[in-house]
Protein backbone atom coordinates (compact mmCIF):
# COMPACT_ATOMS: atom_id res chain seq x y z
CA UNK A 1 0.00 0.00 0.00
CA UNK A 2 1.55 3.37 -1.02
CA UNK A 3 2.12 5.88 1.77
CA UNK A 4 -0.43 8.39 0.48
CA UNK A 5 -3.05 5.65 0.27
CA UNK A 6 -2.27 4.61 3.82
CA UNK A 7 -2.67 8.21 4.98
CA UNK A 8 -6.12 8.32 3.40
CA UNK A 9 -7.05 5.02 5.00
CA UNK A 10 -5.80 6.29 8.34
CA UNK A 11 -7.85 9.44 8.00
CA UNK A 12 -10.97 7.42 7.26
CA UNK A 13 -10.26 5.05 10.12
CA UNK A 14 -9.78 7.98 12.49
CA UNK A 15 -13.23 9.20 11.46
CA UNK A 16 -14.73 5.89 12.53
CA UNK A 17 -14.69 4.00 9.25
CA UNK A 18 -14.46 0.37 10.35
CA UNK A 19 -13.75 -0.85 6.86
CA UNK A 20 -10.72 1.43 6.65
CA UNK A 21 -9.53 0.19 10.02
CA UNK A 22 -9.99 -3.35 8.71
CA UNK A 23 -7.59 -2.56 5.88
CA UNK A 24 -4.98 -1.34 8.37
CA UNK A 25 -5.59 -4.41 10.50
CA UNK A 26 -5.02 -6.72 7.53
CA UNK A 27 -1.78 -4.93 6.74
CA UNK A 28 -0.31 -4.98 10.24
CA UNK A 29 -1.76 -8.00 12.04
CA UNK A 30 1.07 -10.32 11.05
CA UNK A 31 3.77 -7.87 12.11
CA UNK A 32 2.18 -7.21 15.48
CA UNK A 33 1.61 -10.92 16.00
CA UNK A 34 5.28 -11.64 15.30
CA UNK A 35 6.38 -8.92 17.68
CA UNK A 36 4.12 -10.14 20.48
CA UNK A 37 4.95 -13.77 19.83
CA UNK A 38 8.69 -13.28 20.14
CA UNK A 39 8.19 -11.08 23.20
CA UNK A 40 5.92 -13.51 25.05
CA UNK A 41 7.14 -16.88 23.85
CA UNK A 42 3.79 -18.55 23.36
CA UNK A 43 1.20 -18.52 20.66
CA UNK A 44 -1.93 -18.33 22.81
CA UNK A 45 -0.90 -15.18 24.60
CA UNK A 46 0.41 -13.77 21.34
CA UNK A 47 -3.04 -14.17 19.80
CA UNK A 48 -4.78 -12.70 22.83
CA UNK A 49 -2.45 -9.70 23.04
CA UNK A 50 -2.47 -9.10 19.28
CA UNK A 51 -6.26 -8.94 19.35
CA UNK A 52 -6.12 -6.53 22.27
CA UNK A 53 -3.62 -4.31 20.45
CA UNK A 54 -6.08 -3.84 17.61
CA UNK A 55 -9.11 -3.39 19.86
CA UNK A 56 -7.23 -0.68 21.73
CA UNK A 57 -6.03 0.89 18.49
CA UNK A 58 -9.60 0.91 17.22
CA UNK A 59 -10.83 2.62 20.35
CA UNK A 60 -8.10 5.28 20.24
CA UNK A 61 -7.66 5.72 16.50
CA UNK A 62 -9.50 9.07 16.64
CA UNK A 63 -6.68 10.42 18.83
CA UNK A 64 -3.98 9.33 16.38
CA UNK A 65 -2.04 12.24 14.92
CA UNK A 66 0.52 11.93 12.17
CA UNK A 67 3.83 13.14 13.58
CA UNK A 68 5.89 11.87 10.70
CA UNK A 69 6.44 8.45 12.23
CA UNK A 70 4.96 5.33 10.63
CA UNK A 71 1.57 4.11 11.83
CA UNK A 72 3.27 0.84 12.73
CA UNK A 73 5.27 2.72 15.41
CA UNK A 74 1.98 3.67 17.09
CA UNK A 75 0.80 0.04 16.98
CA UNK A 76 4.13 -1.23 18.30
CA UNK A 77 3.84 1.26 21.17
CA UNK A 78 0.45 -0.20 22.13
CA UNK A 79 1.84 -3.72 21.77
CA UNK A 80 4.86 -2.81 23.89
CA UNK A 81 2.62 -1.52 26.70
CA UNK A 82 0.39 -4.58 26.62
CA UNK A 83 3.37 -6.94 26.60
CA UNK A 84 4.89 -5.05 29.54
CA UNK A 85 1.62 -5.45 31.47
CA UNK A 86 1.54 -9.13 30.52
CA UNK A 87 5.07 -9.67 31.85
CA UNK A 88 4.19 -7.87 35.05
CA UNK A 89 1.03 -9.93 35.57
CA UNK A 90 2.70 -13.20 34.66
CA UNK A 91 5.96 -12.68 36.54
CA UNK A 92 5.05 -15.42 38.99
CA UNK A 93 4.07 -17.91 36.31
CA UNK A 94 6.33 -20.42 34.66
CA UNK A 95 7.62 -19.71 31.16
CA UNK A 96 6.42 -21.84 28.28
CA UNK A 97 9.18 -22.53 25.76
CA UNK A 98 8.62 -21.40 22.18
CA UNK A 99 9.12 -24.97 21.00
CA UNK A 100 5.87 -25.91 22.76
CA UNK A 101 3.83 -24.01 20.22
CA UNK A 102 2.57 -26.78 17.96
CA UNK A 103 0.51 -24.77 15.50
CA UNK A 104 3.27 -22.50 14.30
CA UNK A 105 4.89 -22.78 10.92
CA UNK A 106 7.69 -20.73 9.51
CA UNK A 107 7.35 -18.97 6.19
CA UNK A 108 9.23 -20.85 3.48
CA UNK A 109 11.58 -23.76 3.90
CA UNK A 110 13.74 -23.52 6.99
CA UNK A 111 16.73 -25.81 6.29
CA UNK A 112 19.02 -23.94 8.70
CA UNK A 113 16.40 -24.18 11.40
CA UNK A 114 16.10 -27.92 10.93
CA UNK A 115 19.83 -28.27 11.35
CA UNK A 116 20.02 -26.13 14.42
CA UNK A 117 19.88 -27.94 17.74
CA UNK A 118 16.51 -27.25 19.33
CA UNK A 119 18.15 -26.86 22.71
CA UNK A 120 20.38 -24.13 21.40
CA UNK A 121 17.47 -22.45 19.65
CA UNK A 122 15.37 -22.40 22.80
CA UNK A 123 18.28 -21.13 24.86
CA UNK A 124 18.97 -18.36 22.39
CA UNK A 125 15.32 -17.33 22.34
CA UNK A 126 15.35 -17.30 26.12
CA UNK A 127 18.43 -15.07 26.10
CA UNK A 128 16.73 -12.74 23.63
CA UNK A 129 13.64 -12.51 25.84
CA UNK A 130 15.85 -11.46 28.73
CA UNK A 131 17.22 -8.51 26.78
CA UNK A 132 15.80 -5.04 27.43
CA UNK A 133 12.57 -4.59 25.48
CA UNK A 134 14.09 -2.01 23.15
CA UNK A 135 16.79 -4.46 22.09
CA UNK A 136 14.26 -7.24 21.58
CA UNK A 137 12.21 -4.89 19.43
CA UNK A 138 15.28 -4.05 17.36
CA UNK A 139 16.11 -7.71 16.75
CA UNK A 140 12.53 -8.51 15.78
CA UNK A 141 12.41 -5.63 13.30
CA UNK A 142 15.79 -6.61 11.89
CA UNK A 143 15.40 -10.36 11.56
CA UNK A 144 11.66 -10.94 11.38
CA UNK A 145 10.62 -7.83 9.47
CA UNK A 146 13.92 -7.52 7.57
CA UNK A 147 13.83 -3.75 8.01
CA UNK A 148 16.76 -1.50 7.19
CA UNK A 149 18.40 0.58 9.92
CA UNK A 150 16.64 3.67 8.55
CA UNK A 151 13.21 2.01 8.76
CA UNK A 152 13.96 0.70 12.23
CA UNK A 153 15.03 4.20 13.27
CA UNK A 154 11.73 5.65 12.01
CA UNK A 155 9.75 3.02 13.85
CA UNK A 156 11.69 3.26 17.09
CA UNK A 157 12.17 7.02 17.02
CA UNK A 158 15.97 6.84 16.84
CA UNK A 159 18.58 7.95 14.35
CA UNK A 160 20.08 5.47 11.91
CA UNK A 161 23.43 5.74 13.67
CA UNK A 162 21.88 5.05 17.05
CA UNK A 163 20.13 1.97 15.65
CA UNK A 164 23.38 0.69 14.15
CA UNK A 165 25.22 1.21 17.42
CA UNK A 166 22.48 -0.43 19.50
CA UNK A 167 22.38 -3.33 17.06
CA UNK A 168 26.10 -3.99 17.35
CA UNK A 169 26.06 -3.69 21.12
CA UNK A 170 23.09 -6.06 21.31
CA UNK A 171 24.75 -8.69 19.16
CA UNK A 172 28.02 -8.50 21.06
CA UNK A 173 26.16 -8.73 24.37
CA UNK A 174 24.25 -11.77 23.13
CA UNK A 175 27.46 -13.35 21.92
CA UNK A 176 29.07 -12.79 25.33
CA UNK A 177 26.03 -14.31 27.02
CA UNK A 178 26.31 -17.35 24.77
CA UNK A 179 30.01 -17.67 25.50
CA UNK A 180 29.13 -17.62 29.18
CA UNK A 181 26.65 -20.44 28.71
CA UNK A 182 27.55 -24.01 27.76
CA UNK A 183 25.96 -23.65 24.34
CA UNK A 184 29.00 -22.34 22.60
CA UNK A 185 30.64 -24.71 20.16
CA UNK B 1 48.49 -0.03 18.27
CA UNK B 2 46.76 0.08 14.90
CA UNK B 3 47.22 -3.64 14.40
CA UNK B 4 45.77 -4.32 17.85
CA UNK B 5 42.79 -2.09 17.10
CA UNK B 6 42.26 -3.81 13.77
CA UNK B 7 42.44 -7.24 15.38
CA UNK B 8 39.89 -6.13 17.98
CA UNK B 9 37.59 -4.76 15.28
CA UNK B 10 37.94 -7.92 13.22
CA UNK B 11 37.12 -10.05 16.23
CA UNK B 12 34.03 -7.94 16.89
CA UNK B 13 32.92 -8.23 13.28
CA UNK B 14 33.38 -11.98 13.40
CA UNK B 15 31.31 -12.19 16.57
CA UNK B 16 28.58 -10.06 14.99
CA UNK B 17 28.54 -12.11 11.80
CA UNK B 18 28.33 -15.31 13.81
CA UNK B 19 25.44 -13.96 15.90
CA UNK B 20 23.66 -12.75 12.79
CA UNK B 21 23.82 -16.26 11.37
CA UNK B 22 22.39 -17.75 14.53
CA UNK B 23 19.67 -15.13 14.88
CA UNK B 24 18.54 -15.43 11.29
CA UNK B 25 17.97 -19.12 11.97
CA UNK B 26 15.95 -18.45 15.10
CA UNK B 27 14.03 -15.24 14.47
CA UNK B 28 11.90 -16.00 11.46
CA UNK B 29 8.58 -14.57 10.33
CA UNK B 30 5.68 -16.68 11.50
CA UNK B 31 2.13 -16.70 10.29
CA UNK B 32 -0.72 -16.38 12.75
CA UNK B 33 -3.59 -18.85 12.36
CA UNK B 34 -6.03 -17.87 9.62
CA UNK B 35 -8.98 -18.53 11.94
CA UNK B 36 -7.58 -16.14 14.50
CA UNK B 37 -6.94 -13.38 11.93
CA UNK B 38 -10.42 -13.82 10.49
CA UNK B 39 -12.11 -13.87 13.90
CA UNK B 40 -10.48 -10.61 15.04
CA UNK B 41 -11.24 -8.98 11.70
CA UNK B 42 -14.90 -9.87 12.14
CA UNK B 43 -14.95 -8.54 15.69
CA UNK B 44 -13.41 -5.29 14.50
CA UNK B 45 -16.13 -4.93 11.90
CA UNK B 46 -18.83 -5.38 14.51
CA UNK B 47 -16.85 -3.46 17.14
CA UNK B 48 -18.60 -5.36 19.93
CA UNK B 49 -15.47 -6.79 21.50
CA UNK B 50 -13.69 -3.46 21.45
CA UNK B 51 -16.59 -1.78 23.17
CA UNK B 52 -16.72 -4.47 25.80
CA UNK B 53 -12.97 -4.39 26.50
CA UNK B 54 -12.91 -0.61 26.63
CA UNK B 55 -15.91 -0.47 28.92
CA UNK B 56 -14.14 -2.81 31.30
CA UNK B 57 -11.00 -0.63 31.11
CA UNK B 58 -13.05 2.51 31.75
CA UNK B 59 -14.87 0.84 34.63
CA UNK B 60 -11.53 0.00 36.24
CA UNK B 61 -10.30 3.56 35.87
CA UNK B 62 -13.48 5.05 37.34
CA UNK B 63 -13.38 2.57 40.25
CA UNK B 64 -9.76 3.48 40.97
CA UNK B 65 -10.54 7.19 40.90
CA UNK B 66 -13.49 6.78 43.28
CA UNK B 67 -11.41 4.61 45.63
CA UNK B 68 -8.62 7.17 45.56
CA UNK B 69 -11.01 10.02 46.31
CA UNK B 70 -12.60 8.15 49.23
CA UNK B 71 -9.18 7.20 50.65
CA UNK B 72 -7.98 10.78 50.44
CA UNK B 73 -11.16 12.06 52.12
CA UNK B 74 -10.85 9.56 54.97
CA UNK B 75 -7.16 10.37 55.35
CA UNK B 76 -7.83 14.11 55.52
CA UNK B 77 -10.67 13.62 58.00
CA UNK B 78 -8.47 11.51 60.29
CA UNK B 79 -5.62 13.98 59.99
CA UNK B 80 -7.96 16.87 60.81
CA UNK B 81 -9.32 15.06 63.81
CA UNK B 82 -5.83 14.28 65.11
CA UNK B 83 -4.78 17.88 64.74
CA UNK B 84 -7.95 19.08 66.47
CA UNK B 85 -7.41 16.78 69.40
CA UNK B 86 -3.77 17.85 69.70
CA UNK B 87 -4.74 21.51 69.67
CA UNK B 88 -7.44 20.92 72.26
CA UNK B 89 -5.09 19.06 74.57
CA UNK B 90 -2.36 21.74 74.61
CA UNK B 91 -4.11 24.44 76.74
CA UNK B 92 -5.11 21.94 79.46
CA UNK B 93 -1.50 20.70 79.74
Q: Tell me what the mean pLDDT of segment B4-28 comes to.
A: 78
pLDDT at B38 over 50: yes
Give yes or no for A30 touching B (CB within 8 A).
Answer: yes
The shortest CB-CB distance from B12 to any of A22, A58, A172 is to A172
Q: Tell me what the mean pLDDT of segment B8-27 comes to.
A: 80
Domain region containing B72: 50-93
Within a domain: B91: yes
Give yes or no for A174 touching B (CB within 8 A).
Answer: yes
pTM: 0.70
Cβ proximity of A84 and A19 under 8 Å: no
Region of poorest pLDDT, from A143-147, A161-165, A178-182: A178-182
Q: Which CATH architecture has domain A110-185?
A: Orthogonal Bundle (1.10)
Nearest-Cα residue of chain B relative to residue A123: B26
Within a domain: B64: yes
Q: Tell which residue, A136, A140, A97, A76, has the closest CA to residue B24.
A: A140
Give yes or no for A144 touching B (CB within 8 A).
Answer: yes
Q: What is the CATH code for A1-96?
A: 1.10.1740.10
Within a domain: B13: no
B69-89 pLDDT per residue, tens: 999 999 999 999 999 998 887
Interface with A, mutate which of B44, B47, B53, B59 (most A CBs under 10 A): B44
The predicted structure's pLDDT at residue B56: 65
pLDDT at B25 over 90: no
Hey, where are the domains in chain A?
1-96, 110-185
Q: Tell me what the mean pLDDT of segment B27-47 comes to.
A: 90
A1-36 pLDDT per residue, tens: 677 778 888 888 888 889 999 999 999 999 999 999
Residue A24: exposed, middle, or buried by beta-carbon count in 10 A (0-12, 13-18, 19+)? Answer: buried
A80-130 pLDDT per residue, tens: 999 999 988 887 655 555 554 444 445 555 555 555 567 778 888 888 988
Within a domain: B30: no
The predicted structure's pLDDT at residue A32: 95
Within a domain: B78: yes
- Count up the domains in chain B and report the number: 1
pLDDT at B37 over 90: yes
Cβ proximity of A57 and B49 under 8 Å: no
The predicted structure's pLDDT at residue A103: 43
Give yes or no for B92 touching A (CB within 8 A).
Answer: no
Question: Is the ipTM, as predicted for this complex, more than 0.90?
Answer: no
C-alpha–C-alpha distance, residues B61 and B50, integer Å:
16
The shortest CB-CB distance from B23 to any of A30, A47, A139 is to A139
Is the Cβ pair A168, B12 closer than 8 Å?
A: yes
Cα of first residue to Cα of last residue in chain B, in angstroms, is 82
Within a domain: B55: yes
Amino acid sequence: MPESEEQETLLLAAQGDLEAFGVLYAKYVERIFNYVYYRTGNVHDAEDLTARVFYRALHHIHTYTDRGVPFSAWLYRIAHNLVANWHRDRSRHQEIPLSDAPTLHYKGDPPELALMQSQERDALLKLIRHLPSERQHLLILKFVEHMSNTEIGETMGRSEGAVKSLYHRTLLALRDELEGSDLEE
Amino acid sequence: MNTKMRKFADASMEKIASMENRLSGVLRPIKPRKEFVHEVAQRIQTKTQATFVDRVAEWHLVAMLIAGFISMTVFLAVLGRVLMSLLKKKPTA
